[in-house]
Copies of this chain bind each other. A is one copy, B any other.
Amino acid sequence: MYIMLEGGESIQKMSRGRRNPEQGIPLAEEEEQPGLRQMLKSEKTRAGLLRAAEKIFARDGFEASRIEDIAAEAGRSRGAFYANFKGKTEVFLTLRTLAAQRHARMVRERVLGLQDQEARYQALIGYIVEQIYDTQAQLLQIEFKLFALRHPKMQARLAEMHLEASTRVNEQELSGLFPEKTGRAAEMRCSTLEVEALLEGFALNTRFSPDVLDEASIQAIVPRLMAQILSRSEAES
């Protein structure tokens, strides 16, 4: 997901100096651990940069974010940034991949452990509602979608990846929850976007005017809207 970019190269290949951790057979006459310590260090650098980028992108927006700010936030130099990523676009999209993975992990952890079908459903709804308050994540999502629709050459691919990632969770982990929807990928995808529209719209507006659209208001309305979206699907199926 989010792996293929323009020119068909994977994000992994795009960055210089990255190396696949597993290298299998070490060459004869070379040290066994050619630089385990170093690799760990660089992994830490990369992780730090990603964390920093996430913060800066959410704070300033994709366009206004400066590499220098990201590097400084991570306590690194610009060079370190470019040793780990090809450019602003790459970190940004890498971040989305990671977010999608995190999302999948969270759903799995919080939903799949439950026995009861009803409990699962509640857990899912709860998880989604919770996300409203992670406004930083939602702002990044908005940035991502704006980015996509302003880069027509990537748009289709990015949209596809995004939905692929979301739906995979839904289909695999959630099958059974919405039995009437199993196999109806199109509907599932549509509902996914509707839920996201809600989350993003409310996140944006609560950030825009926290005093007016406060937590209480959100708590009062969003779950009901969410139910509306999900029930519609059921009703129609």
Q: Considering the complex, give the chain B residue whose CB is closest to the CB of A160.
A: B209
* Minimal Cβ-Cβ distance residue in B for A210: B159
Closest chain B CB from A58 CB (angstroms): 10
* Pairs across A and B, CB under 8 Å, 8 listed: A149-B207, A159-B212, A162-B208, A189-B212, A193-B208, A194-B221, A197-B198, A220-B232
> In the complex the two chains form, what is the Cα distance from A228 to B227 in whole Å?
11
A155 to B186, CA, bound (A): 39
Smallest beta-carbon distance A72→chain B, Å: 12
B217 touches A190 (CB 8 A): yes
Q: Taking the complex as formed, is A201 at the interface, i.e. its CB lies under 8 A from any CB of chain B?
A: yes
Asked if B197 and A202 sit within 8 Å, CB to CB, the answer is yes
Q: Of A60-68, A89-97, A105-113, A115-123, which stretch is located at the interface?
A: A60-68
Complex interface: chain B residues within 8 A of A148 (CB): 208
Which chain B residues border A80 with CB–CB below 8 Å?
none
Nearest-neighbor residue (CB-CB) of A148 within chain B: B208
B220-A146 in contact (CB<8A): no
Give the residues from 142 to 156 in chain A that come closer than 8 angstroms, CB to CB, to chain B.
Answer: 142, 145-146, 148-150, 155
**A205 interface neighbour in B186, B197, B213, B221, Cβ under 8 Å:** B197
